[in-house]
Structure formats: structure tokens, C-alpha cells
């Protein structure tokens, strides 16, 4: 009779059982004089069966040279129920017994076989539960603004700070942060390319710089002084924003995390990634950071896969009569614009049938003419950033409109009593919204410097996301009055 002893050890740890001890325990299960062959995989995980000694043992089983396999514990063979089931099937096919010394059973009896499967099911359940717990903890820490590990961005160092009685991971500025500020300023205020900047930095600093390193710095939200405009930028990209809009106060940087589809561009495809306001302070004003994002997006060929928003005018179209947003409704393959104020009985204007494609074509035509005029007159405006008071008003406006839209969405399944109270709440919120809008209109805030004029000659080939980025840069609002449109430009 030939017996195979299989042993495995992932890594040497003080609390892990050694290969020698596994062999000694397995030998105690052998009764009588047997031919023994030991198969050992050292430094291999049990998550799969791609191990040299294990493959060699299975080949010997296929050749019929082994009668029994003995292991110290089940997970020495595999931690996967599927893999283990396949292994047991091969053992049964070749009439090979299986003994686990630690669990004290063997497959020579029906009870042993049943117990084997039960234990493996619970082993995998435990492993998956641990993995899920680790994942939940990761996202929980991320939502709190904690730095989730990895190398700190250029210009920052990894540090630990005391907060709430425990040490928290975050990042802190170092001397290279001044170069980061210089990179952002130069890229935002000139027509210089990443390649030209990289060449210049390589010559000045006597160290290698390239496009990839610069793009990584310029895309990173850790640097931005995140305000409401940055909140809107990531909302438009379909990100899950973990922090309340009130935390976007124009002071702290951002952390972004989530599983990335490696087939997509990691900077432009952030849908369902998580964004949170970090513990660390930002260093780049939002208007400079956002301008860099737009300029960078022109350098990337964005894959237009037909997914995303229903229109690139999302968030821009308002009713001239009541001030409420127009929302897109679909009937079969046709898209319409509907006034959300009319849906709750607050719009005095006349109802019109507005096709989304018609409004898009008219806005694009005016956008094209507007950009041509800007290119010819080369307007230069001041670079005053949004005041903290204006940022706070924008926060209030977003919260109020989000609450109104939430109530509107819930009315489809509401009874008469609920509708009565919902209408009362909407009326109150609408009054608050009007008050905020009036305060914003009274503010005399200087507009930021006009961004670089994009080439929109290939507009039809652009993705909805990129069209929206361009529209958001130049259009403040698109007002609809009946069948007419009025555009309020940013410059």
C-alpha cells in the first residue's frame, strides 16, 4: 500500500505549523508498514491548486501509484469548495482514500465523506465572510476621510495623526508641494503640453519626468481645495460622494477609491467610484484644478459607449417661468424635456412638447457661435476664486433642490394624505430656494479666468460625458420659455 503525505505552508510565521510538524502528525495516522511519499509545497497559498508538488501528487494518483492521501488539515489541500469537490471526485474515481489528521475523519466511510463536504463549505463561508468584513472596513475608513494606504502623492508624505483617541492615517505636505503648485499654474495658464512640461522639468531638475508622472499629479483630487464646484464635477461623472456637500468648504483635499475596470481609462471612467473629503488640506484652488481636468480630458480619446446621462445638458436646463429644472422623460425611443415645477403644480407657464434633441441642437448652435466670438475677442477676466459665503449658498441650494427632487420622485406611489403634506413641504422648500437664488444673484463675484477655447468641430463624435464637461465650462444656465431658449453664459 502506498501513502502520500501532502504538506503546505504559505509563509514562515511564529504561529503557523511547520512542514516538519505536519509530516510528523500525518505519520501517526499510518498503521502498519506502508510505502510513504511526502509532497511539500512551501510558500504557496491555498486559494488555488496551481502548486508544483500538488500537481506531481495528482499525476501519481492518475497513474494509480497512490492508495491514500493524508493531510494535517483540510485547508492544506485547498480553501476552495469547487476545487476540493473536483479533487475528491478524482480521488473517488481512482479509489484513493483521504484522511485529515486534524479533523479526525477519512473518506472510507459515508459519514466521513459527508463531514468532509460540510467542513469545506463552512471553511469557504468563513473565508468569504472575512473578505467581506475587510472590504466593509476599507470603505468605512474611506468614508471617514482616512488615507487608505499606498504611496503618498508627490508633494505629500504618509503620516499618522491622533484623532478621537486613536492614530489615523493621512498625508501631509513636504517641500515638493511648491513644485506641484507650479505645475498646476503653468498647465492651467498656458498652451504647454505635458510632453513639453516633462522635458523642461527633466532639464531643470536633472531627473527624469514624463507625461505619465505629470498626468498622475494633475488628475489627482488629493491636491484640490474641494468646494461645491468640485462636488458638481464628480457628481456629473457618476461618482458616489460619501461626504455631505457641506464638507466641500474649499479647504480640504479629496480621496477617491473603488474597484476600477482596467479596460477603461482610469481618469475619465469614475462612475460608481467613491469620493470623500479627506482629513488633509488641499493646496490647489478649485478653479485651477477644474481647468486642468478639462484640458487633460481633451488629450484622452474617450470611448463613446452610449452609456451615461440622457443628455449633456443635465443640470443646466431651467424653466424661465418657475425656475425649476427640466428633467428628461422617455417614451419608447423618444426623449422629452418636462418641467419639474409643473409636475408639482408650481409652474404658471404654458406646457409645450420639447424634444431633447431639438434643444440640444439649438444650444450647440449657439455654443458654437459663442466660442467663435470668444476666440476672436480674447477676453481676459480676473481669477478671483469663489468666496466662502457664495460656496455656502451653493451648498444650501444643492441640499434644497436635492430634497425637492427626492419628494417629487416619491410622489408617484403616494396617497392623497401624503401628497398633501409633500406639497406643503415643497412650497416651503421652494420659498427657501428662491431666497437662496436671490442672495446668489445679489453677490457681485468676479468670474474666473476664461478657460482655453476647445475645438468642437467633431462634436458628434464626442461622448456625452465630454460634451457635458465642455457645456458646464461655458454655460451657466439654459432657460426655456415656451418654445424659446435663453442661455446665460459664464463669460
Residue carrying the nine cell digits 477676453: 379
Give the pLDDT mean for 120-139: 75
* Rounded distance between C-alpha atoms, residue 152 and residue 301, angstroms: 28
Residues 6 or more apart whose CB falls under 8 angstroms from that of 175 comprise: none
Q: Which range, of 55-59, 385-389, 462-466, averages the lowest pLDDT?
A: 385-389
Region class of 272: left (phi > 0), else alpha (psi between -120 and 50), else beta: left
177-189 and 286-297 are packed helices; what angle lies between their axes, rounded to 10 degrees?
60
CB 321 within 8 A of CB 385: no
* Rounded distance between C-alpha atoms, residue 220 and residue 216, angstroms: 6
What pLDDT, on a 0 to 100 scale, did the predictor assign at position 449? 56
Query: Which of 127, 139, 175 has its CA nearest to residue 154?
Result: 175
What pLDDT, on a 0 to 100 scale, did the predictor assign at position 341? 83
What pLDDT, on a 0 to 100 scale, did the predictor assign at position 120? 67
* C-alpha R_g of the chain: 32
Torsion, Cα 377 382 386 389, to 10 degrees, reads -120
What pLDDT, on a 0 to 100 scale, did the predictor assign at position 285? 94
Q: Which range, of 195-204, 220-229, 349-358, 424-433, averages the lowest pLDDT?
A: 424-433
Domains of the chain (ranges, CATH numbers): 2-140 (3.40.50.1390), 156-297 (no CATH), 317-489 (no CATH)
CB 40 within 8 A of CB 72: no
* Rounded distance between C-alpha atoms, residue 189 and residue 409, angstroms: 43
What pLDDT, on a 0 to 100 scale, did the predictor assign at position 268? 57
DSSP one-letter string for 357-404: HHHHHHHHHHHHHHHHHHHHHT-----PPPPHHHHHHHHHHHHHHHHH
Q: What's the distance, CA 30 to chain centroid?
A: 55
Of 259 and 484, more confident: 484
CB 343 within 8 A of CB 462: no
What pLDDT, on a 0 to 100 scale, did the predictor assign at position 306? 37
Give the pLDDT mean for 283-312: 72
Is 299 a residue whose pLDDT tops 70? no
**Per-residue pLDDT reduced to its tens digit, 122-131:** 767 777 777 7
β 240-241/274-281 pair status? parallel
Of 263 and 373, more confident: 373
CB 461 within 8 A of CB 478: no
Is 240 a residue whose pLDDT tops 80? yes
CB 311 within 8 A of CB 334: no
Q: Which residues of 97-129 are buried (b: 16+ CB within 10 A; e: fewer)?
A: bbbbbeeebbbeeeebbebbeebbeebbeebee
* Rounded distance between C-alpha atoms, residue 50 and residue 97, angstroms: 22
Residues 6 or more apart whose CB falls under 8 angstroms from that of 8 comprise: 40, 41, 42, 44, 46, 51, 54, 76, 77
Cell of 19: 512542514
Give the pLDDT mean for 245-252: 90
Q: 67: how many CB neighbours lie within 10 A of its CB?
A: 16
Cα distance between the two ends of the chain: 89
Q: 137: how many CB neighbours lie within 10 A of its CB?
A: 10
What pLDDT, on a 0 to 100 scale, did the predictor assign at position 205? 92
What pLDDT, on a 0 to 100 scale, did the predictor assign at position 284? 96
What pLDDT, on a 0 to 100 scale, did the predictor assign at position 15? 64
What pLDDT, on a 0 to 100 scale, did the predictor assign at position 445? 42
Exposure of 81 by Cβ count < 10 A (0-12 exposed, 13-18 middle, 19+ buried)?
Answer: middle
CB 157 within 8 A of CB 172: yes
Give the pLDDT mean for 469-490: 89
Is 99 a residue whose pLDDT tops 80? yes
CB 144 within 8 A of CB 161: no
* Rounded distance between C-alpha atoms, residue 277 and residue 170, angstroms: 12
Give the pLDDT mean for 373-392: 62
Exposure of 175 by Cβ count < 10 A (0-12 exposed, 13-18 middle, 19+ buried)?
Answer: exposed
Of 28-37, 192-201, 419-428, 461-470, give the range with the top mean pLDDT. 192-201
Query: Which of 243, 7, 187, 170 has its CA nearest to residue 102?
Result: 7
Q: Which range, of 90-99, 131-140, 228-237, averages the lowest pLDDT?
A: 131-140
Is 323 a residue whose pLDDT tops 70? yes
Give the pLDDT mean for 138-150: 80
Share of the chain above pLDDT 70, in %: 87
Residue carrying the nine cell digits 493531510: 71
Amino acid at each position: 500500500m502506498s501513502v502520500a503525505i501532502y504538506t503546505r505552508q504559505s509563509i514562515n510565521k511564529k504561529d503557523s505549523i511547520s512542514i516538519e510538524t505536519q509530516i510528523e502528525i500525518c505519520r501517526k495516522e499510518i498503521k502498519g508498514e506502508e510505502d510513504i511519499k511526502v509532497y511539500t509545497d512551501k510558500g504557496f497559498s491555498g486559494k488555488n491548486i496551481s502548486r508544483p508538488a500538488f500537481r506531481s501528487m495528482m499525476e501519481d494518483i492518475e497513474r494509480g501509484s497512490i492508495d491514500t492521501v493524508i493531510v494535517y488539515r483540510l485547508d492544506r489541500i485547498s480553501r476552495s469548495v469547487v476545487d476540493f469537490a473536483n479533487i475528491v471526485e478524482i480521488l473517488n474515481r481512482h479509489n484513493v482514500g483521504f484522511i485529515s489528521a486534524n479533523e479526525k475523519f477519512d473518506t472510507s466511510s459515508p459519514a466521513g465523506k459527508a463531514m468532509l463536504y460540510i467542513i469545506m463549505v463552512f471553511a469557504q463561508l468563513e473565508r468569504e465572510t472575512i473578505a467581506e468584513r475587510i472590504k466593509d472596513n476599507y470603505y468605512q475608513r474611506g468614508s471617514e476621510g482616512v488615507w487608505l494606504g499606498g504611496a503618498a502623492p508627490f508633494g505629500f508624505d504618509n503620516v499618522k495623526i491622533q484623532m478621537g483617541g486613536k492614530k489615523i492615517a493621512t498625508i501631509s505636505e513636504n517641500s515638493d508641494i511648491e513644485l506641484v503648485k507650479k505645475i498646476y499654474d503653468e498647465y492651467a495658464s498656458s498652451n504647454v503640453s505635458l510632453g513639453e512640461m516633462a522635458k523642461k522639468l527633466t532639464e531643470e531638475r536633472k531627473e527624469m519626468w514624463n507625461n505619465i508622472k505629470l498626468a498622475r499629479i494633475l488628475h489627482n483630487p488629493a491636491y484640490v481645495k474641494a468646494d461645491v464646484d468640485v462636488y458638481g464635477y464628480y457628481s456629473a461623472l457618476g461618482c458616489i460622494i460619501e461626504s455631505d456637500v457641506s464638507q466641500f468648504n474649499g479647504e480640504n483635499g479629496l480621496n477617491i477609491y473603488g474597484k476600477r475596470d482596467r479596460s477603461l481609462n482610469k481618469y475619465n471612467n469614475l462612475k460608481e467610484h467613491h469620493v470623500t473629503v479627506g482629513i488633509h488640506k488641499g493646496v490647489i484652488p478649485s478653479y485651477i484644478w477644474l481647468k486642468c481636468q478639462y484640458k487633460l480630458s481633451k488629450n484622452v480619446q474617450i470611448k463613446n459607449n452610449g452609456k451615461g446621462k440622457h443628455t449633456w445638458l443635465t443640470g443646466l436646463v431651467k424653466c424661465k417661468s418657475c425656475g425649476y429644472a427640466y428633467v428628461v422623460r422617455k417614451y419608447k425611443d423618444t426623449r422629452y424635456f418636462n418641467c419639474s415645477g409643473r409636475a408639482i403644480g408650481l409652474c404658471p407657464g404654458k406646457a409645450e412638447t420639447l424634444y431633447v434633441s431639438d434643444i440640444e441642437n439649438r444650444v450647440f448652435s449657439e455654443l458654437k457661435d459663442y466660442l467663435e466670438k470668444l476666440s476672436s475677442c480674447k477676453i481676459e477676466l480676473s481669477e478671483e476664486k469663489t468666496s466662502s459665503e457664495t460656496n455656502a449658498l451653493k451648498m444650501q441650494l444643492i441640499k434644497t433642490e436635492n430634497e425637492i427632487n427626492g419628494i417629487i420622485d416619491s410622489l408617484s406611489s403616494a396617497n392623497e394624505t401624503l401628497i398633501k403634506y409633500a406639497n406643503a413641504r415643497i412650497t416651503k422648500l421652494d420659498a427657501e430656494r428662491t431666497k437662496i437664488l436671490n442672495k446668489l444673484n445679489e453677490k457681485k463675484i468676479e468670474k474666473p479666468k476664461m478657460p482655453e477655447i476647445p475645438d468642437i468641430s467633431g462634436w458628434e463624435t464626442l461622448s456625452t460625458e465630454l460634451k457635458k464637461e465642455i457645456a458646464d465650462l461655458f454655460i451657466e444656465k439654459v432657460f426655456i420659455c415656451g418654445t424659446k431658449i435663453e442661455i446665460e453664459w459664464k463669460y
